[in-house]
Structure 1
């Protein structure tokens, strides 16, 4: 049957007059558009049908065969049986003038579609009615085949439940979904693959369909309980099977696994919520629309700009610009968008109330499957306070640099002069040197204090130039630079560390000098390694536990001649390297400083 419901009939009869009369009558009586082919010889008709079936993938190209019984060479039943021997099952109506109960019985037992005796108009109408039924069945089967092909191509699980509430049909995709074979499902109730609540929901939905005011079809979500594993969330598309009157014949449904879809929707909700609630302003624009307007802004954007969504959407974001917005930054942003590239600029923008703020804007293109820019996403961050802090920090650094200049020049010069005059005074004075010695000690302490302050002001700034350094070699070099008196050094490590050489040397010098200064003339200083760093320990008097939190504070010292900045420098240099320094008691009862986070090997 063709897709346009045009049918082809083949009438075989050795009487040309019967062929012409029957063809004309069928053309008049049938509601379908038909083409009636005629053939007086059954052998020729058989050959044509068989050849057509073998030559075409679609099979026989006629929808119904009408044949006389009594024909020379081959009668109608022999013709029918020959067709069946070739596997051709086209509907076959025996229409004969030589009828008998015996022939009728043989024909019906053989499986013909219909048996009619030739006669007047009434017999012709009976023949036409039977052909009409055949063509209706063929059309219905063709439509069903089309739908079956579509459903099979879609691969959706399909079921039919009969009027007794049992599965009458399920396809293979449904069997695969549930883990049961089709033979197990067919004949069982939906409770096999649904829990009680799901069964009740399906019955309720079917009741809506069957009600006089209900829909023809319904969709609802349901959990399918497979033979093994967790329930599978599906969407059930249900309809009642066609029926006449009040005789309900069952329902049909198509299931679609939406568990992945639900997960995607859930993830999309999370992502949307993350954008909505992000602490950074987010806007999205549509470049396919005139002037690339914003189609989305989040809560942070609204809060930062003062414009609510209705005021911001469908506008280009340039409305945030004002009289002090630098054109250079705007042009860089425009050029990047024109080129389809990401960019970051800092703009002087204005809130709805007119207050200016510094807006760090980053834009990036979002491409579609064809590689075209479908959306632009922009991130806005109010950096006004950060810029103010940076300016304050720059001014503070300038003041510190001026302070360092005063320390290194304006204070050191008078001290140099004072030291020279002090030496002249010693030469000119025979007595009272002890007073001059006190002045010299004060000068030395001021020199040490200036050195430490300059170290804190200047050497704690700047990038790290990392080097691989031998801890033992660095310790030995630092030990040689300090006044060790009768102290003893023990180095119990061969670790190498990554550090900035100049700062690391000052850190070690201050730790070793602190141990000698507070440990006594005969102190034993030990440098060893830990799992993640190293330690400097001594066997001196140690540091009281209630004082250990104070030793790193600026200006704190238990030595009257100390500056109080030595351990402050140790802590600052450790921080620069992302290390930590802790003070505890050594095994010998003295002080132990642990530097951790060093790593190395």
Structure 2
């Protein structure tokens, strides 16, 4: 409520009485002051003297005669109104007429009173003076209050507004409207509903309905967006209510508008934060200052097994596993009660009794005064991480104790740097751990490093595929060496890539021997070509002459000659094969063993023979595919030739190689030592070089071959020194012209 005592004028009323009759002045002053203690009469005999007095004195009311020398009462009134337009002026005259009264009213007289007889007229005059001054003072008070209210309205950042009852006209609105809504007040005076244009299009219908409710005499409270110039980013809270007369009639509607943009932004941020907490993969809970849990997020429920209903109202002690001493928790509480953040690893217990490890951070939450009101705990479940670290620790221990040079790189760091090297690596390269760690292994490469090999290595790493390459590397002192580098991805329990393991082996000596053997192979190939030319030419001549002889005559002897020539051709072919297949293998490739066996079986004349493959479909070996094809084809033909058309051939894996077995008559133990000799054969049509060629190819790969008895009593050839093992098997019978191998 407004306290008007501070704006109420003093009770005394100063009256300037002007009359050219001094006796009337004295009588009037005496009676007015005597009977009305608040009146103070200041008497003047003419208008000029009165005007001079007004220039230096404050007067509450003027009482003037009409008929006076100099200026009459009307003329005096006119001059007073030029300077004091609102001072009460009572024309108190003995000359009364309608003309004088009308003229006085037109010039702004406050009251008109005709002089009479008796003292009662002074009582009436006093009342007229008191009423006129009271009205003026009331108007001054109202004007001052209105001025103060306007000043107050202009000082506030809120918008204060008054509309007519039908909201068709603006009675008052302060200037804060322009800044908040982004439109000028003059526009609102021209169109009282122009504020709708400054309202967000999506909110206008809502605001328009609120206007209708106000027009219907209802109170409204709404929030909406305004200010097109700021892309409607300003939020306002509007409250409006009708003002009614005692009869209940609405005379106007008033209200205020507050800028709530900051609150809305905080609410939005709070909602985002709440969604972030609820969506967080970390378990989060809050407690009061006594440690009672009052809120948890879904991740807490998932990690601990406790529902929100079960956890709220309890203390975090429900999660304690007994792993930590009491002093551990005392330190925790002392830290957070001192207003500091506490962080440590904690071993907690799931509702079902299973333990888990968390990285826990607890921080105090304070109010505006700095008083701690809550504690918030953020818990990152690192159980699997610690398990992985233990496994990596075991792996690192194994690597530390390994004799082979080993490295670990981190693919999650830029350029996949080495994060671990063992001592054999230092011995091999000459680089210390300090010099190697944090660098990509390409610093071991040099000018003679094959770019194609580097590219294959990089592609395999990018595809998370294991790879083995021979690469030219350089030691710290600059000496080159051939490095057999094997790189394999390392995964955690979730199948996520965490490291690459690199295994190094110095194969310089082997590489040099291989190069020397390649030179020998080249010379052997050259010799075989010469022999082939020198032997085949006479043989071709003999075969041509034989055909001419057969054309001229028929003789059984010519058939024997033809058979001898055919045998000579087969011997030459086998001899050349034996010479060439004995060449040392220098270029190895990855070969799917089961697929190779299938392809070989398809090229052998098998009639009704059967094939059983006991090789895992994923088994691969390193070798020369074309030469290995001759190994399998020769062993399969050998089984069919000696085991008969219905023989079953089985190919399977060994721990370090593979075998080819049959269910034929087998090979006598006393003959097994010579079956690989060149020229040895128990078949009439054989050259005796088939198994010798097999032995040569196996030896060229660096493997070994031996013959033993199969489970069915037939022959079993075991080739060892090759990695790979499996258990899948299937059977193929008869002609190889269809069917799924199912390997």
| TM category, shorter | 0.5 to 0.7
In 2, distance between residues paired with 1:11 and 1:546?
A: 108
SS of structure 1 residue aligned to 2:333: helix
SS of structure 1 residue aligned to 2:487: helix
In 2, distance between residues paired with 1:307 and 1:76?
A: 98
2:108 is aligned with 1:111: yes
- Once the two structures are TM-superposed, the CA of residue 507 in structure 1 deviates from its matched residue by 3.8
SS of structure 1 residue aligned to 2:268: helix
2:487 is aligned with 1:568: yes
| Corresponding residue of 2:331 | 332
In 2, distance between residues paired with 1:374 and 1:545?
A: 56
Asked if the contact 1:507/1:569 (under 8 Å) is kept, the reply is no
Asked if the contact 2:285/2:377 (under 8 Å) is kept, the reply is yes
- Once the two structures are TM-superposed, the CA of residue 331 in structure 1 deviates from its matched residue by 2.8
In 2, distance between residues paired with 1:352 and 1:539?
A: 55
2:205 is aligned with 1:205: no
Question: Paired residue for 2:90, among 77, 87, 94?
Answer: 94
| Corresponding residue of 1:263 | 265
Asked if the contact 1:362/1:378 (under 8 Å) is kept, the reply is yes
| Corresponding residue of 2:576 | none
In 1, distance between residues paired with 2:369 and 2:52?
A: 56
2:84 is aligned with 1:150: no
Counterpart mapping for 1:176-195 below 5 A:
176-191=179-194, 193-194=196-197
In 2, distance between residues paired with 1:363 and 1:327?
A: 17
In 2, distance between residues paired with 1:236 and 1:340?
A: 41
- Once the two structures are TM-superposed, the CA of residue 316 in structure 1 deviates from its matched residue by 5.1
- Once the two structures are TM-superposed, the CA of residue 344 in structure 1 deviates from its matched residue by 0.4
Q: Closer, same or farther in 2 for the Cα pair 1:204/1:356, shift >3 Å?
A: same
Counterpart mapping for 1:473-488 below 5 A:
none
| Corresponding residue of 1:494 | none
Q: Closer, same or farther in 2 for the Cα pair 1:322/1:7, shift >3 Å?
A: farther
Q: Closer, same or farther in 2 for the Cα pair 1:305/1:244, shift >3 Å?
A: same
| Corresponding residue of 1:31 | none
Q: Closer, same or farther in 2 for the Cα pair 1:340/1:51, shift >3 Å?
A: farther
| Corresponding residue of 1:68 | 63
Q: Which runs of 5+ in 1 are unaligned?
A: 25-35, 53-59, 408-449, 467-477, 483-498, 513-524, 528-535, 580-589, 591-601
| Corresponding residue of 1:234 | 236
| Corresponding residue of 1:413 | none
Q: Closer, same or farther in 2 for the Cα pair 1:22/1:507, shift >3 Å?
A: same
| Corresponding residue of 2:221 | 219
- Once the two structures are TM-superposed, the CA of residue 153 in structure 1 deviates from its matched residue by 1.4
TM-score (norm 1): 0.56
Counterpart mapping for 1:438-587 below 5 A:
450-452=403-405, 455-456=406-407, 501-502=435-436, 507=441, 526=448, 536-537=450-451, 553=466, 566-568=485-487
Q: Closer, same or farther in 2 for the Cα pair 1:549/1:165, shift >3 Å?
A: closer
In 1, distance between residues paired with 2:443 and 2:234?
A: 69
- Once the two structures are TM-superposed, the CA of residue 379 in structure 1 deviates from its matched residue by 1.1
- Once the two structures are TM-superposed, the CA of residue 508 in structure 1 deviates from its matched residue by 5.0
Asked if the contact 1:342/1:362 (under 8 Å) is kept, the reply is yes
For residues 185-210 of structure 1, what are the alpha-carbon distances to aligned partners after superposition, in whole Å with 9 as ceiling and x for unaligned?
32324157437997765564355446
For residues 334-360 of structure 1, what are the alpha-carbon distances to aligned partners after superposition, in whole Å with 9 as ceiling and x for unaligned?
232233222202233344555544333
In 2, distance between residues paired with 1:244 and 1:137?
A: 23
Counterpart mapping for 1:33-48 below 5 A:
36=38, 38-41=40-43
- Answer with 1 or 2: which has the greater Rg: 2
SS of structure 1 residue aligned to 2:64: coil
- Once the two structures are TM-superposed, the CA of residue 299 in structure 1 deviates from its matched residue by 2.6
Q: Which has the higher contact order (CA 8 A, sep 6+)?
A: 1
For residues 38-57 of structure 1, what are the alpha-carbon distances to aligned partners after superposition, in whole Å with 9 as ceiling and x for unaligned?
343579999999779xxxxx
Asked if the contact 1:39/1:45 (under 8 Å) is kept, the reply is no
In 2, distance between residues paired with 1:220 and 1:395?
A: 66
SS of structure 1 residue aligned to 2:404: helix
Counterpart mapping for 1:356-375 below 5 A:
356-368=355-367, 373=372, 375=374
In 2, distance between residues paired with 1:7 and 1:372?
A: 51
For residues 403-422 of structure 1, what are the alpha-carbon distances to aligned partners after superposition, in whole Å with 9 as ceiling and x for unaligned?
x54x5xxxxxxxxxxxxxxx
For residues 14-51 of structure 1, what are the alpha-carbon distances to aligned partners after superposition, in whole Å with 9 as ceiling and x for unaligned?
64444446746xxxxxxxxxxx4634357999999977
Asked if the contact 2:227/2:233 (under 8 Å) is kept, the reply is yes
For residues 166-224 of structure 1, what are the alpha-carbon distances to aligned partners after superposition, in whole Å with 9 as ceiling and x for unaligned?
4435443334445544434323241574379977655643554465xx64x32223454
| Corresponding residue of 2:278 | 276
TM-score (norm 2): 0.47
Q: Which runs of 5+ in 2 are unaligned?
A: 18-24, 116-120, 416-424, 472-480, 492-497, 503-586, 588-743
| Corresponding residue of 2:645 | none
Asked if the contact 1:554/1:565 (under 8 Å) is kept, the reply is no
SS of structure 1 residue aligned to 2:324: coil
Q: Closer, same or farther in 2 for the Cα pair 1:198/1:297, shift >3 Å?
A: closer
- Once the two structures are TM-superposed, the CA of residue 333 in structure 1 deviates from its matched residue by 1.6
In 2, distance between residues paired with 1:309 and 1:76?
A: 92
2:345 is aligned with 1:346: yes
Q: Closer, same or farther in 2 for the Cα pair 1:303/1:139, shift >3 Å?
A: farther
- Once the two structures are TM-superposed, the CA of residue 140 in structure 1 deviates from its matched residue by 4.0
Kindly tell me the number of residue pairs found equivalent between the two proteins. Answer: 447
In 1, distance between residues paired with 2:283 and 2:461?
A: 46
In 1, distance between residues paired with 2:72 and 2:112?
A: 14
Question: Paired residue for 1:172, among 153, 162, 175?
Answer: 175
SS of structure 2 residue aligned to 1:68: strand
Asked if the contact 2:160/2:255 (under 8 Å) is kept, the reply is yes
SS of structure 1 residue aligned to 2:147: helix
